[in-house]
Structure 1
Amino acid sequence: MKAPAVRKRASKPAPAVQEDPAPIGHNGAPASIEIDLPLPTSTNRIWRRGHSRRTGNTWTYLSKSYQTWKMKAGAALKAQHPKLPAKIVGPFDVHLVITKAKRFKLDLDNRIKSAVDFCVQSGLIEDDKFQNRVVVEWGKAPMGARLTLTAAETVD
C-alpha cells in the first residue's frame, strides 16, 4: 500500500529586516539635520544703511550680497532635502564647519548669524533664541560651510 500524499505547506517568506527608524528629536523632528551651504555672509555685511541727501533720512536694509547668499542657500537646501525636514521645536545645538581654505581670510565667529537666521527663515528651527550650544570650527565643507542642527535635551 502506498503512503498517502502529504501536502507541503508553502513556506512563509523570511521576514524583511527592518532598519531602525531615524532617531527622533524631542518634538518628533529628526534628531539632526545636516546641510552643506555656500560660505555664509559675514555678520558685518548683512545690513547696509542708506541716506537721503535731500531729506537727511537714513534707513537700514539687507545687503545685496546677503540676499544673494540666502537664495543660493535656499537652492542648496532644496537640492539636498527636496522634502523639508520636520522643524526642530525648542532647544537645539548648532555645529558649523567653515572650509579651511578661508582660514586666514575671515573671522570664524562672523558666519554664525547668517546661517542660523537662514534656518529660522527656512522653517528648520522654530526660533534662534532656543540655541542651546554653538560650535564653530574650521574643517572640510564642500560648498564653504556645513551646518548641523541637533535637537537638544529639554531642561526642566
Structure 2
Amino acid sequence: MEEEARRIGGAEMITLALPFPISTNAIWRSGRNPKTGKVCTFRQKRYLSWRNAASGFFYEQGGNRLPKITGHFRAHIVLSEKHRGNKDADNFCKVPLDFLQFVGLVANDKLCDRTVVEWGHVEAPAGCIVTLSPVE
C-alpha cells in the first residue's frame, strides 16, 4: 500500500489504510492496581495490539513523511463492509482518530470539525480507510 496525498483547493488531502478498528467500548477497562489495590483505569491489550498493528500500516505507507495537519480538519472513514455484522459504525471513529493524533499526523483529534463514517469496500489487508483534509 502506498501513501496518498493530493492537493484539493490548495490543501493536502491525506488517505491512509489501517486495520479494522476496535470499538470505542473496548479501549478502556477498570481494575485494581496489583501493587496498591486502588481502582484504576487502563488501556486494554486489544487496543494496544491494534495500535501496534496500525503503526505498522502507517509506517509501511510512509506515514512519517506525510504532511502534518496542525489545525482544524475533516475526516472521512470507510469501514470494511466485511466487518459490518450488527456493529454500529459510530463506535469505530474514535480509535483511528486517536491513533492519528498518537503518531502526530494531526495535532489533536478535538480539532476534527466533521467526521463522516460509512461502510464500504476496503481492500484487504486493511479494514478501514481514513481520508483527512485540512480546513482552510
1:102 aligned onto 2:78: no
Pair 64,53 (structure 1): closer, same or farther in 2 beyond 3 Å? closer
Query: Helix, strand or coil: the match of 2:14?
Result: strand
Counterpart of 2:66 in structure 1 is: 85
Counterpart of 2:119 in structure 1 is: 138
Structure 1 contact 25–88 (Cα < 8 Å) conserved: no
TM, length-normalised to structure 1: 0.75
More strand by share: 2
What amino acid maps onto 1:75 in structure 2? G
Pair 25,56 (structure 1): closer, same or farther in 2 beyond 3 Å? farther
Q: Report the structure number with the largest CA radius of gyration.
A: 1
Pair 54,132 (structure 1): closer, same or farther in 2 beyond 3 Å? closer
Counterpart of 2:96 in structure 1 is: 115
Q: Where does structure 1 lack aligned partners over 5 or more consecutive residues?
A: 1-21
TM-superposition CA deviations, 1:77-104 (whole Å, max 9, x none):
1001164212101110000000111222
Kindly state the Cα deviation for residue 24 of structure 1 after the two structures are TM-superposed: 7.3
Counterpart of 1:57 in structure 2 is: 38
Counterpart of 1:36 in structure 2 is: 17
d(CA) in 1 for partners of 2:27 and 2:63? 27
Structure 1 contact 94–147 (Cα < 8 Å) conserved: yes
RMSD: 2.1
TM, length-normalised to structure 2: 0.85
Query: Helix, strand or coil: the match of 1:31?
Result: strand
Q: Where does structure 2 lack aligned partners over 5 or more consecutive residues?
A: 1-5
Structure 2 contact 22–50 (Cα < 8 Å) conserved: yes
In percent, how many aligned pairs have the same letter?
37
Structure 2 contact 73–132 (Cα < 8 Å) conserved: yes
Pair 36,52 (structure 1): closer, same or farther in 2 beyond 3 Å? closer
TM-superposition CA deviations, 1:97-147 (whole Å, max 9, x none):
001112223221111110000000111001111111100000011211001
Q: Which of the residues 52, 58, 62 maps onto 1:71?
A: 52
Structure 2 contact 66–105 (Cα < 8 Å) conserved: yes
